Chain A
Amino acid sequence: MEFTLSRYRNVTVLVLVLAAQLFLLAYQIKSRQDVRSIRVWAVTGVMPLTRLLDFLHDNTVGLIKGYSGLMEVKDKNKDLQAEVAKLKMENNFLRTELATADRAKVLALFPSRLPSKSIAAHVTGRGSDSSKVVFVDRGSNDGVSKNLPVVTPDGVVGRITGVYPDYSQVVLITDINFAAGVISQKHRVHGTLKGQGNSVCTVDYIRNEEKVEVGEWLFTSGDDRIFPKGLPLGQVKLARAGKMFFQEVQLVPSGLQLGLEEVLILLEGVHQPIPDHAPPSASAKLLPPPPAEGSDGPDSARVIRGGVATTDADQVLDRYRRIGAAQGHAYGSGGGTPNFAIDPPPPRPPAAPPAPETPPQ
């Protein structure tokens, strides 16, 4: 036997390789996975190494930064002593801020406030800048599946697009392939958020007639059937009338504002009401609003009333209805002859929605 194998070594190797390929192919088909097995194994194999490298990188950078910080503290020691009273007060304030900004602490508290069932995950690897994709250390073994939302207490981070046994791929909110349904906090305007491959996202399909304000918070609307309603997405940075019926709206995503270390994967999303006040940790810097541009095009004659598009015909009908009401005239019935030449009283403006309370920021 040994003689035969050594004699036909090349053929044997070829047969073994082919058999292995056939076996793997059969396994791939049988397992019905969306992701190729070779990729699963590669990710499983490479990720621990990446994690180790990340760990070493973070610690080395931390050590160097710590050392340089210490040196700076030493250099400025004399100045600090002169302002000790003031610094004590500031120090107390900063300690409080640091305590609330402690991500691990906040993340530990966040799930108890969140009605959705979630699992904490650590970001272990990042894709290229253009792809806006990260990997987290939770996979199918932890109950993670495709399309689950990934959030932080500050807002939405992204959604799961690939699942491996111990790791998952997350496409970030800023990726060009990301989209989610949104609703505005003040006027309850619906739209669709899309990543642009940079630090801001756009919100599409908001008509020029609808009201969106710069600085207004946008939340998930639940319309996309991926993200439960009520998760903060970010603040509007830019909102102006567009030329093709729809506004240009840009948003600064809040979920990525304070870095990306720990995240939550929502295993079972639960819709929440849109809060009347801004999320507590909002800190986006906003530009002043740009000069408004008027809309044009064939849509300009159209009026939206109560979310319903109307034409001049509806307005003329409304005018005559008001004339009839003002003169107590029942159309087509006996009684006095109406005077249609008199302009009717103006229509009553629609009742404004109750203004949301503005909490101290």
Chain B
Amino acid sequence: MPDVATLPADQERDKEHEVRKVLGEDPKAAANRIAVFRYICVAVFLYLLAGFWALQIRDPDYYAELAEKNYIRSQPLPAPRGRILDRHGRIIVDNHSSFSLYLSRDNLKEDHLDAMCSALDLDCADLQERLRRYDRTRAKYEAINIKSDLTSAELSFIEAHGGQDNFPEMEVIQTFRRIYPRGGALAHVIGYTGEISEGELDSADFVRYKRGDIIGKTGIERQYNDVLMGVDGQRRVLVNNRNKILKVIDHKGAAAGRDVRLTLDLDLQAVAELAMTDRKGAVVALDPRTGEILAMVSRPTYDPNRFVGRIRAKDWSEIRDNLDYPMMNRAIQAQFAPGSTFKPIIAMAALEEGIIDDRTTATCTGGAMFYDRFFKCNLRSGHGYVGLNRALVHSCNIFFHNIGMKISIDKVAEYAELAGLGKRTGIDLPAESEGTVPSRRWKMRTQRQRWFSGETVSVVIGQGALTVTPLQLAHSIGGLIRAGEWHKPHLMLDPPPSLDPPRKANWSPENTSKVVNGMFGVVNQGGTARGAAIAGIEFCGKTGTAQLASNDLIRSRKLGLQLSDNAWFVGFAPRVNPEIVVVALYEHGEHGDRAAPIVRDVVKAYFDSKHRRPQTLIAAAGAAR
């Protein structure tokens, strides 16, 4: 039962409470609000404290690094590649101070790309693709090279628009650009450099290299990339808020690549280059005593300077779609029938095998039937009564067809392979071709057919399935004239390469002299290259005219020049203890005597240069005194 006496007081209190509630002065509600506010304050402070904890205690290094990156920049210092010199130390490939544009991905704003690409003539789609690729594989702070060899105008644009106001992502780095000889001279031997490709990165040969590295792509640049390539350095710089360098913090210098000295002689090379102007083919000159390559030319050519940095798509398609294959080093990759330049090897084989001797003769009436097929000689009226010397001097096919009747194809293959044909010479250049030396086994393996003796008759005059490269021919003749001693062809002089001892066949010096005398007569005794004689020099050689198709086919199809004969000439000097062998392949030159002047000029340059050099040195010493 309720206490009646307290009832009015309670009612009074309740009433007052109601009034305060209406007025919003409910102490209970106010206390609740204050409590909620306190909780919110505590939560906010806890949140701030957690952030403070994360910043100052949990990840201070991470945030310090992030903050530092705003001010400290890491800049690559590209190392210059080693220079490429000729045997006398003259510069073939040099470096040129240049500037490259790097893109700092830390500061990159996507909407700047279009303007940058437009101003700097960059392929925007290609750049975006590269950026995506780099984002996947490289740390964000690593800048990427987006344009090399900046022009003065581009440098002005970048400097004027760099900094925080415009394009803060652009950074100019001083670097080195390759300078190759102009006009494509030496292009095939030297090669060119470029940024390592995705395919190369996946290859075991390039396991040491990383994305963005500039490596040799072809030629000497590729073959000796490890020697030529230096080690890049790096420097850290303090920059202001406008990316201007205030201070260099540390500097790890780049180590330059090592210079390489080649066996090439620029005097001979220059003459060979000029002799092949407007011609298609190749020239190889080597020293048969050492295997040193003195000159190597391939035409048509390309300008490796166009590959420096990144070749434009238009330039690349122009080279790639050229049906004359200007990128092909014909000196080591063109495989053609050698024509009559193969006859000295057949002569040597026949002499060594006792198939012919000094008394062996043949009667040439301009053509003859062999295995029910008529073979024409190069002189329609015929050479008459010919022995080995006369057969070589006048390049009589009938004499050699007769040898072909007596020698087996496997014996021909044995001597050809001994002379270095049908396999790579092992020259220190990438992508050398093997050529073909036919044999019974070769035909069965490649065509599933047996060999017909009639085919040997063609092979002995350097036709049929036999193919050689100009280098192989120079190498084989170089060994032959040294009575069967072949030194491996090579281009590196310094650092000295490790070379195998020469291969030896121990052919008879008498037989060698017979072949050499025949080749002397070709030039000096009214032979097929009588116009190439050099006064005062015992210049020897052999012409070769190699058919690409039968005359009937050329006439019937009206193919004209496209299938006209290749002209070959292999020459050496002097007759005793030869110092230089030169091979010229003049594609579609029609007759071997048209290739002879090319070789003559190179041989003349060799001896003139040899005699001039000591005089030059004496004159220089006199001037110095």
For B534, give the chain A residue with the smallest CB separation. A337
Q: How far is the CB of A227 from chain B (nearest CB, A)?
A: 8
Q: A147-B166, A310-B182, A339-B608 are in contact. Are A302 and B94 (CB under 8 A)?
A: yes
The answer to whether B152 and A177 touch across the interface, beta carbons within 8 angstroms, is: no
The answer to whether B600 and A179 touch across the interface, beta carbons within 8 angstroms, is: no
The answer to whether A331 and B160 touch across the interface, beta carbons within 8 angstroms, is: no
* A 304-329 to B, binary, CB cutoff 8 A, 1 in contact else 0: 00001111111011011100100000
Q: How far is the CB of A184 from chain B (nearest CB, A)?
A: 11
Q: How far is the CB of A342 from chain B (nearest CB, A)?
A: 9
The answer to whether A317 and B185 touch across the interface, beta carbons within 8 angstroms, is: yes
B266 at the interface (CB under 8 A from A): yes
The answer to whether A311 and B597 touch across the interface, beta carbons within 8 angstroms, is: no
Q: A223 to chain B: which residues have CB within 8 Å?
A: 152-157
The answer to whether A317 and B275 touch across the interface, beta carbons within 8 angstroms, is: no
State which of B58-66, B95-103, B205-213 sits at the interface with chain A.
B95-103
Q: How far is the CB of B592 from chain A (nearest CB, A)?
A: 13
The answer, among B163, B267, B274, B601, for a CB contact under 8 Å with A177, is B163
Centre residue among B156, B157, B186, B279 by max chain A CB count within 10 A:
B156
A146 to B161, CA, bound (A): 11
The answer to whether B97 and A246 touch across the interface, beta carbons within 8 angstroms, is: yes
A309 to B180, CA, bound (A): 9
A301 to B85, CA, bound (A): 12
Q: A332 to chain B: which residues have CB within 8 Å?
A: 274-277, 279, 584, 597-598, 601
A205 at the interface (CB under 8 A from B): yes
The answer to whether A181 and B157 touch across the interface, beta carbons within 8 angstroms, is: yes
State which size class the interface on B falls in.
35 or more
State which size class the interface on A falls in.
35 or more
B554 at the interface (CB under 8 A from A): no
A312 to B180, CA, bound (A): 10
The answer to whether A320 and B159 touch across the interface, beta carbons within 8 angstroms, is: no
A224 to B160, CA, bound (A): 6
A314 to B266, CA, bound (A): 10
The answer to whether B156 and A180 touch across the interface, beta carbons within 8 angstroms, is: yes
A246 to B98, CA, bound (A): 10
A271 at the interface (CB under 8 A from B): no
For A329, give the chain B residue with the smallest CB separation. B601
A347 at the interface (CB under 8 A from B): no
A320 to B92, CA, bound (A): 16
* B 258-285 to A, binary, CB cutoff 8 A, 1 in contact else 0: 0000000011011101111101000000
For B586, give the chain A residue with the smallest CB separation. A332
* A 286-307 to B, binary, CB cutoff 8 A, 1 in contact else 0: 0000000000001101100000
Q: A302 to chain B: which residues have CB within 8 Å?
A: 91, 94, 96, 179
The answer to whether B90 and A331 touch across the interface, beta carbons within 8 angstroms, is: no
The answer, among B92, B597, B605, for a CB contact under 8 Å with A313, is B92
B578 at the interface (CB under 8 A from A): no
B251 at the interface (CB under 8 A from A): no
For A7, give the chain B residue with the smallest CB separation. B24
The answer to whether A316 and B95 touch across the interface, beta carbons within 8 angstroms, is: no
Q: B93 to chain A: which residues have CB within 8 Å?
A: 311, 313
B244 at the interface (CB under 8 A from A): yes
Q: A180-B160, A331-B274 are in contact. Are A340 and B267 (CB under 8 A)?
A: yes
The answer to whether A317 and B97 touch across the interface, beta carbons within 8 angstroms, is: no
Q: A221-B153, A246-B97, A340-B267 are in contact. Are A331 and B275 (CB under 8 A)?
A: yes
B233 at the interface (CB under 8 A from A): no
A225 at the interface (CB under 8 A from B): yes
Further pairs besides A179-B162, A337-B535: 5, Cβ < 8 Å: A177-B165, A181-B152, A204-B155, A320-B605, A331-B275
The 8 closest A-B pairs by CB, nearest first: A181-B156, A332-B275, A224-B160, A223-B153, A179-B159, A190-B152, A223-B156, A340-B608
10 A-B Cβ contacts within 8 A? A161-B165, A299-B97, A311-B94, A313-B181, A317-B181, A317-B185, A332-B275, A332-B277, A332-B279, A334-B531
Q: Which residues of A contact B (CB under 8 A)?
A: 146-147, 161, 176-177, 179-182, 190-192, 194, 204-205, 207, 221, 223-226, 244-246, 298-299, 301-302, 308-314, 316-317, 319-321, 324, 331-335, 337-341
Q: Which residues of B contact A (CB under 8 A)?
A: 80, 83, 86, 90-97, 99, 119, 152-157, 159-163, 165-166, 174, 179-183, 185-186, 242, 244, 256, 266-267, 269-271, 273-277, 279, 531, 534-535, 584, 597-598, 600-601, 604-605, 608-609, 611-612
